[in-house]
Amino acid sequence: MALTAGVVGLPNVGKSTLFNAITQAGAESANYPFCTIDPNVGVVDVPDKRLQKLAELVQPQRVIPTSVQITDIAGLVKGASKGEGLGNQFLAHIREVDAILHVVRCFEDDNISHVSGKVDPAADIETIHLELVLADLDTVERRMDRLARQKKSGDPQAKIEYELLSRLQPELAEGRMARLVEWNEEELQLLKGLNLLTLKPILYVANIGEDEVAQADQNQHVQIVQKIAAQEEAEMVTVSAQVEAEIAELEGEEKELFIEELGLQQSGLDRLIAATYRLLGLITYFTAGEKEVRAWTIRKGTKAPQAASVIHTDFERGFIRAEVVGYQALVEAGSITEAREKGWLRLEGKEYVVADGDVITFRFNV
């Protein structure tokens, strides 16, 4: 599934270090602005303990996790919407992603320069917000100019869209992001056609110092980001990009012990990737057989035939039914056979909406 989240933020907040840790893709990281110019793209496995548990039950030949795509976008600066710091190019890269991971610097380090001379999460967030809003305001006003001409010719659709943008334009002019304005589903669909930057969902990533991992909540910068995220009803995760880079180099038991020594139940990256998955509106279903146990990605609300098409288009074209058992029920039963005998294995048709954690066998005929 070609959905992607873009990592954005001011220069020198730790974006590329975090991206490297997430994807181990080797994106260049350095202590000067605009180190990242062309966006780096990486695909990372989504951590899911359910997959391993299913593998223990089924004993397949292989286990295949699902994944999410992450794009590292160059640091924005004040004036980006006016072309400062290659701003137009960077904003165009943000338009291409489905969700935004906004990395905010919450660590003090005299050896790493800050673009504005001091660590100030609220000001940093405001800088990024303003540039996104101004870029959207320009998009909306240019679109309204075209619609005004079409409206005069009697185009009814142009009139509807013009009235919608007439509501949005003053909100953007006041510095408010489009996603924080109340829209109905029909209006949202119209707005999505404009690919507005401030309509994209945001996950705040508070990047803290190496020595603050166990007491992240005591970091005053983190508290500021938490407050802003709460006001926007946005999600937030706290990570140390430097620590996560170290964790990414470890494997197996050594990795688990290091995470435990840090006083964590799971790595910050695992939390970040899981949160990104939710941010994109994605869920996971599983297939489980002797050859493989596999996780599949679909959008929340997907019906069974369309979920089957993720495996192969023939599965949707020749869809007959889906044999479904929930993950928890299967674990409790101990096997598909036991789940069937207990009556927990259901037969679902074309209108069934797949739930997160469903274990499915598709029946089809082509």
Smallest CA-to-CA distance from 295 within 100, 122, 132, 63 is with 63
Alpha-carbon torsion, ordered 115, 117, 118, 123, to 10 deg? -50
pLDDT tens-place string over residues 312-362: 999 999 999 999 999 999 999 999 999 999 999 999 999 999 999 999 999
* 9: its two tokens: 């933020």
Per-residue confidence of the chain (366 residues) as pLDDT tens digits?
A: 557 899 988 888 888 888 888 877 443 433 433 344 456 788 888 889 999 999 999 999 999 998 888 888 876 656 545 554 444 566 888 888 999 999 999 988 877 666 666 889 999 999 999 989 999 999 999 999 999 989 888 888 999 999 999 999 999 999 999 999 999 999 999 999 899 999 999 999 999 988 888 788 889 999 999 999 999 989 999 999 888 888 888 877 888 888 888 877 778 888 888 888 888 899 999 999 999 999 999 999 999 999 999 999 999 999 999 999 999 999 999 999 999 999 999 999 999 999 999 999 999 987
pLDDT for 288: 95
pLDDT for 115: 65
CATH number at residue 136: 3.40.50.300
Domain boundary among 279, 312, 333: 279
pLDDT for 37: 41
pLDDT for 35: 41
pLDDT for 85: 46
b/e sequence 243-276, b meaning 16+ C-beta within 10 Å = bbbebbeeeeeeeeebbeebebeebbbbbbbbbb
Collapsed DSSP state (helix, strand, coil) of residue 362: strand
* 176: its two tokens: 């408010």
Same domain, 211 and 262: yes
Residue 294 belongs to a domain: no
What span, in angstroms and rounded, lies between the C-alpha atoms of 240 and 68? 21
Predicted TM-score (pTM) of the model is: 0.83
Same domain, 191 and 312: no
Collapsed DSSP state (helix, strand, coil) of residue 44: strand
Instruction: Give the β-pairing of 346-348 and 319-326.
Output: antiparallel
72 touches 15 (CB < 8 A)? yes
Going by the DSSP 8-state scheme, the letter that residue 76 receives in this structure is P
What span, in angstroms and rounded, lies between the C-alpha atoms of 99 and 7? 9
Domain boundary among 279, 313, 330: 279
Same domain, 316 and 233: no
Same domain, 139 and 195: yes
Same domain, 350 and 221: no
Same domain, 105 and 18: yes
Domain boundary among 244, 279, 314: 279
Residue 54 belongs to a domain: no
Residue 57 belongs to a domain: no
Same domain, 322 and 191: no
b/e sequence 347-365, b meaning 16+ C-beta within 10 Å = ebeeebebeebbbbebebe
16 is in an annotated binding site: yes
15 is in an annotated binding site: yes
In sign, the C-alpha dihedral spanning 28, 32, 35, 41 is positive
14 is in an annotated binding site: yes
Residue 314 belongs to a domain: yes
Same domain, 269 and 355: no
Give the type of residue at 352. Answer: Y
Same domain, 226 and 189: yes
Same domain, 271 and 328: no
What span, in angstroms and rounded, lies between the C-alpha atoms of 103 and 9? 5
Smallest CA-to-CA distance from 33 within 20, 15, 19 is with 15
Report how many domains make up the chain.
2
Same domain, 248 and 315: no
Supply the range of the domain harboring residue 345. 301-364
CATH number at residue 321: 3.10.20.30
Residue 226 belongs to a domain: yes
Same domain, 139 and 249: yes
pLDDT for 116: 65
Query: By percentage, how much of the chain surpasses pLDDT 90?
Result: 55
